[in-house]
Amino acid sequence: MNCFIYFPFLIFVAPIISNPILKLTMKIICIGRNYADHAKELGNEIPDEPVIFMKPKSAIIQAHTPFYYPEFTNELHYEAELVLRISKNGRYIQERHASNYYNAITVGIDFTARDIQDECKKKGLPWEKAKAFDNSAAIGKFTDITPGFNIKNLNFSLNKSGEQMQVGSASQMIFGFDKLIASISSYFSLNIGDLVFTGTPAGVGECVVGDELECFLEGESVLKLEVK
């Protein structure tokens, strides 16, 4: 009898919960201006505490799925970033314990409608329209952070149609991973499956329809998508 009641429900939700990213992701926390060279290239000051903004779950686009150029912008930028996956619930996490709260890392793209963001900045308005739209967060294949994994010196890069546009290292971040976790969790609870985009190095730029974007973590391709 019980089977009979639950069966239709299972058919409906199975495709949604079988997707590991969607099942786990509760929210996406992003850090701005975390690399000095990038802050400079956009004419921003170097912050004395992390700049934090959010994207909703609906922003996630996964590897090997089409990415369509949004119709509301004329200046879409890629921003390649290291992305942490949260593995433990917490609030007010101390920096010295922070590494217990994430267990995987990848490279993602924080897509940004730069023209809209510039307009928002000028008017002192929030950035969501420029940063949090559907498919604005691309996420690569995760690598587990195992004991001895040298996370502090991880290298990553982004190629646009085969040409290298961005190169960065975790060692260049103004605020390191553990400081970010401590800072974020003093405002927001972190939950298992949350993602943290940790900021982009210099070299951000425009992409147009037909461009192929590919991200690398320690030289290994982890994310590839075409702008359609």
Contact positions vs Mg ion (CB under 5 A)? 79, 110, 200
Burial class (CB in 10 A: 0-12, 13-18, 19+), 22: middle
CB closer to Mg ion, 143 vs 200 = 200
Torsion sign over Cα 14, 16, 22, 23? negative
Strands of the sheet containing 76-78, edge to edge, are: 112-113, 76-78, 205-206
CB closer to Mg ion, 128 vs 192 = 128
Residue number of the CB closest to Mg ion reads: 110
Minimum distance of Mg ion from residue 85's CB (angstroms): 17
Single out the residue of 36, 47, 22, 167 nearest to residue 107, CA to CA.
167
Torsions phi, psi of 191, nearest 5? -125, 155
Minimum distance of Mg ion from residue 37's CB (angstroms): 13
Minimum distance of Mg ion from residue 34's CB (angstroms): 8
CB closer to Mg ion, 110 vs 178 = 110
CB closer to Mg ion, 35 vs 216 = 35
Token digits of residue 220: 């290994």
CB closer to Mg ion, 33 vs 85 = 33
Minimum distance of Mg ion from residue 124's CB (angstroms): 20
Minimum distance of Mg ion from residue 81's CB (angstroms): 6
Inter-residue contact 196 to 108 (CB < 8 Å):
no
Residues 120, 222: Cα–Cα separation, whole Å: 32
The neighbour count for residue 59, using CB atoms within 10 Å, is 24
